Each structure stands twice: as C-alpha cells, then as structure tokens.
Amino acid sequence: MSTLITNIAELTTNDDPEVLTDAAVVLSGDRFAWVGPAKAAPPADTRVDAAGRAALPGWVDSHTHLVFAGDRTAEFTARMAGKPYTAGGITTTVTATRAATDDDLRATLRRHVAEAVSQGTTCLETKTGYGLTVEDEARAARIAAESVDEVTYLGAHLIPPDTTPESYLDLVSGSMLAAVAPHAQWADVFCETGAFDESQSRSVLTAAAAHGLGLRVHGNQLAPGPGVRLAVELSAASVDHCTYLTESDIDALANSDTVATLLPACDLSTRHPLPNARALLDAGATVALATNCNPGSSYTSSMAFCVATAVLQMRMSVAEAVKAATWGGARALRRETEVGVIRPGARADLHILDAPSATHLAYRPGVPLTWAVWRSGAPVRP
C-alpha cells in the first residue's frame, strides 16, 4: 500500500537538499519510498493533496520522563511565586508512582504519548527514575517499552531519603541495573549538586556501559558543574539541559560526538536562564531540542513550543530549531539514519503543518499548527 502526498509548498528533509519546494513524497509500508519535485512524482495507491502546506519529519523528542503518577501543581504555583526549583520535588512523584498500579502508569503514559503524537511527535524517548527500587524501576522500564521508541534507565535520578548513598549506588549499579537493562537501550545520571556527584555519576555510567547500555547525562541544569565534561569523557550520546555552560564545556562539546540537548520549556518553568544555543552552534556543537516532559520541571509535550522559544528567545534560526527538534533529537538517540530525516528508506514519519512554511512555528507561537501526521507510514492524525 503506497500513498503519494503532493503539493507540499516547503518540505524540510534534513537530507540533501535540506529543503525542497513544490515537493512530494511517497510512503510505502512503514518507509519513505520516494522524495522529490511534485511534478516528477510517481503514481501511488492513494493520493493526499497537501494544498500548499509545509511538511517536515515528525518531531523526535529525545528527553521525557513519562512513567509517573501524581501531580505537582502546588509546587509549580509556589515556584511561580518565587520558591526555587530543587531536585527534592522528585520525591513527591516517586511516592505517587510507587503507589500507582501498572494500569494507572500505563494509562498516564499512553495519554501523554497520544498527546505528543497528535502534535507531530513521532519518535519518543522516555526514562525511568520515579521508582528508585529494583521492582519499581524494572516495572517503569517494562511499561515504557510498550509505548515509546527508546527507554532510558534513570535509577540515578535521586538518592531516596530512606537509604544511604553507598547502599543506593551499589543497588543502582548492581541488581537494579541488571533488572532494568533488558528493557532499556540507555542509562542516564542526574549529575548535579543534590543528586549525584561526578564520581558517583561516573561509577553508575561505567557500570551501565559494561551492561551494554548507551549513555546519556543530565548535566549543568541548575548550576555549572561536571556533567558536560563527564558526558564527553565517556562518549555519551547526549548531555541534556546544558543551561550553565563554561567556555570549556562548549569547546568540549564542539569537539565531541556528544549532542547538547537543550530543554527550554524546563528552563522557563523552573525560572532558570535559557541555554546559550548560539554559542554552541557557532562553536560547531550538535544541538537537539526536547520537551523534558515531566510533572515537576517541565510539564509540556509540545515540541512546537520548544522550537518557537528557541527561535524567539535563544537566537536559533527556524531552520536550526526545526533541525534540532528532528534530526538533532534523532542524533541524540543515534537513530539519525532512520528518523528525523525524509529520504527513501527512512521511517515514514511525516508532519504536515497547516501553514505554508515552517517559519509559522515561530511566527505564530502557541497556535496549534499540526494538520496531519504519519508515524511509521500509518496516518495517526487526522
């Protein structure tokens, strides 16, 4: 079964050329079969007229925390009244998540995934990290694997108050890792004052790598720190947040394969400055944009909001922001040959905007612009 989508005014491919005008694509099964000028398009079983709209790869949201229960509206309200964000709020979600049934967690996760997909997100990563016992972390990873493309083990999110750092580190690098690893592709550490220090983070990540997991790091979120340095040293696929960077952090990222994943919705919601995307890009670092959707520091699934913020407030061009939210996220997940790109053979993840150009994502911020979405070749919206 093939579908020709034609009359695309502006098609962002992230391939060569990066943008095509008056374009068409053909989807066949779960892949793109053909991409090119509309006037040269081959026939297909069905035809969709995009009527002069813009199209781009589905968003790749490479950083979320969607296996959770409970609500932190009160914490958000206190923050907006001036109370600072601290990692300690994570324990509120840990308590609620441990008390939830599998079906509750599954339903909440599916609801958020559906919400993201309806806005054009077609590839999602999510993390454990609100269980923090062997059973609860393994359950979170198992449930996550049912609904998302990539699962990250984040047992090293916080040292639970009812344990000592030594015993918890043993657990995170020992039996908890062994229980979660079969359901996960990645391991992550919250490397920050109040969570895990540099040597604790290194030991958890080294153990995870020995189990065959790829590495990611939460770093430099609340203050300057060792997270970026450590991520680069261990060849992590990405270091996420990057809100407080020194020149040497930027230099290290620019000379590495580690993606700087920026989470602007989180910085806004926690009242921290926005990251210096311009310095990263100008230095040659690879940048991704992601939502960090979670109930504490960033409760949004809107990649379009992140793109608009990146353009309006972080001095990224529309092209840079769209690329960071598609190809950049895919690169952060080491999937850039398959998702975040429109070329024959890539997964047929397509997002059509109800606008003639991707510029409208920033020009019309806050306006829902998703017109149609295909995920793995299947229409998921309308």
Number of Cβ within 10 Å of residue 167's Cβ equals 10
Q: Is 185 among the residues that bind ligand NIG (CB under 6 A)?
A: no
Q: Is 258 in the site for ligand NIG (CB under 6 A)?
A: no
Helices (H), the chain: 73-80, 90-99, 102-117, 134-147, 165-173, 175-180, 198-210, 227-233, 247-254, 264-269, 277-283, 303-313, 318-323, 329-332, 360-363
User: Is 299 marked as a binding-site residue?
Assistant: no
Q: Which of 256, 261, 297, 300 binds ligand NIG (CB under 6 A)?
A: 297
Measured from each CB, the residue nearest to ligand NIG is 296
Give me the least distance between CB of 17 and ligand NIG, in Å please.
35
Which of residues 302 and 370 has its CB atom nearest to ligand NIG in the complex? 302
Q: Which residues pair with 31 in a beta bridge?
A: 28, 347
Task: Give yes or no for a cis peptide into 382 (omega within 30° of 0).
Answer: yes
Could you say whether residue 120 binds ligand NIG (CB under 6 A)?
no
72 appears as a binding residue in the annotation: yes
Structure tokens at 368: 């829902």
Q: Is 296 annotated as a binding residue?
A: yes
Encoded one letter per residue, x for contact with ligand NIG by CB under 6 A and - for no contact, window 141-180 reads: ----------------------------------------
Q: Does 90 bind ligand NIG (CB under 6 A)?
A: yes
Q: Residue 357 burial by CB count (10 A; 0-12/13-18/19+): exposed, middle or buried?
A: middle
CB-CB neighbours of 321 under 10 Å: 28
Is residue 266 at the binding interface for ligand NIG, with CB under 6 A as the rule? yes
Between CA 357 and CA 347, with CA 115 as vertex, the angle to 5 degrees is 60
DSSP 64: B
Centre a 10 Å sphere on the Cβ of residue 57 and count the other Cβ atoms it contains. Answer: 32
User: With CB under 6 A as the contact rule, which of the stretches 145-153, 204-212, 275-283, 295-303 interacts with ligand NIG?
Assistant: 295-303
Measured CA to CA, the distance from residue 262 to residue 270 in angstroms comes to: 14
- Residue 238 or 292: the one with the smaller Cβ distance to ligand NIG is 292
Distance CA 328, CA 321 (A): 9
Does position 301 bind ligand NIG by CB under 6 A? no
Dist. CA 194–CA 222, nearest whole Å: 10
Reference 335, options 117, 18, 326; nearest CA is: 326
Of residues 200 and 294, the one with the C-beta less far from ligand NIG: 294
Q: Among residues 16 and 162, whose Cβ is nearest to ligand NIG?
A: 162
272 binds ligand NIG (CB under 6 A): no
**Is residue 112 involved in binding ligand NIG (CB under 6 A)?**
no
Least gap, CB of 9 to ligand NIG (angstroms): 36
Using rule CB under 6 A, residue 119 touches ligand NIG? no
Which residue, 120 or 296, has its beta carbon nearer to ligand NIG?
296
Enumerate the H helices of 186-259 as residue ranges. 198-210, 227-233, 247-254
Question: According to CB under 6 A, which one of 76, 190, 299, 371 is a site residue for ligand NIG?
Answer: 190
Under rule CB under 6 A, how many of the chain's residues touch ligand NIG? 13
The response to whether 351 counts as a known ligand-binding position is: no
**Binding segment toward ligand NIG, per CB under 6 A, in 88-96, 204-212, 280-288, 347-355:** 88-96
Minimum gap (Å) between residue 218 Cβ and ligand NIG = 5
Helix (H) or strand (E) holding 81: none
- For ligand NIG, the binding residue among 93, 126, 200, 326 (CB under 6 A) is 93
| Positions that interact with ligand NIG (CB under 6 A) | 65, 89-90, 93, 190, 218, 221, 266, 292, 294, 296-298
